[in-house]
Amino acid sequence: MLISMAVAGRQARKLGATCSSVWRCSSTTTPAESKRVEKSMIGPPHPVSNISPIILAQPENETGQERQLRLHHLAMNDRNHQFWLAHNMQFEQDKETFKTRRLKGGEAVLTESGALSPDEFATFYKDFLVSKKASLREYNRAWLRDITTFMWLSLKVKTQKLLFWKR
């Protein structure tokens, strides 16, 4: 059953949406706590954050660098999920507030389906992005740090494998 992002957002807010209550955080599980996973898997996207949960394969003879890379990848995915969950929930809440305020003031131009007109939505969206500029900038900086670390760890793992293979 497909539900709209707005409905999912309202449901998530009612539940006090957190990573543990809405979306299972994959990095909280250690190899000792769970069965070893043979193949990596990607689940369906979360209805609010739109981030797909991942489970990464754990090789039997996983090196320390491989484990560090795997755990960093999982943590990076969890951070992305947390940011976009909060951001998208705030977006839906602010959109409803904007729509209600415009309707009460008699200023809203709605489409036949009751949605905001494209011009009305553009005004809201611009204002929303301006209000979130600092958090989006910080997210982009953190993402750049994460992806740089991820690439560095990947390079170390690939180099280690190449050197080990030649022996």
pLDDT tops 90 at residue 104? no
Q: In Å, what is the CA distance from 101 to each residue of 30, 81, 93, 95, 128?
A: 47, 30, 12, 10, 15
Q: Tell me, what's the pLDDT at 109?
A: 72
Under the banding of pLDDT at 50, 70 and 90, the label for residue 33 is very low
Q: Tell me, what's the pLDDT at 166?
A: 60
pLDDT tops 90 at residue 92? yes
- Residue 147 domain boundaries: 5-166
CA–CA distance, 131 with 129 (Å, rounded to integer) = 5
Percent residues over pLDDT 70 in the chain: 78
Are the CB atoms for 5 and 87 separated by under 8 Å? no
Are the CB atoms for 6 and 97 separated by under 8 Å? no
Under the banding of pLDDT at 50, 70 and 90, the label for residue 34 is low
Within its chain, how far is the Cα of 146 from the centroid? Answer: 14
Domain count, the chain: 1
Q: Tell me, what's the pLDDT at 146?
A: 97
**pTM: predicted TM-score of the whole model, two decimal places:** 0.73
User: Mean pLDDT throughout 36-51?
Assistant: 91
Least confident range of 2-6, 44-48, 78-82, 135-139 = 2-6
Between helix 118-131 and helix 133-166 the angle, nearest 10°, is 70
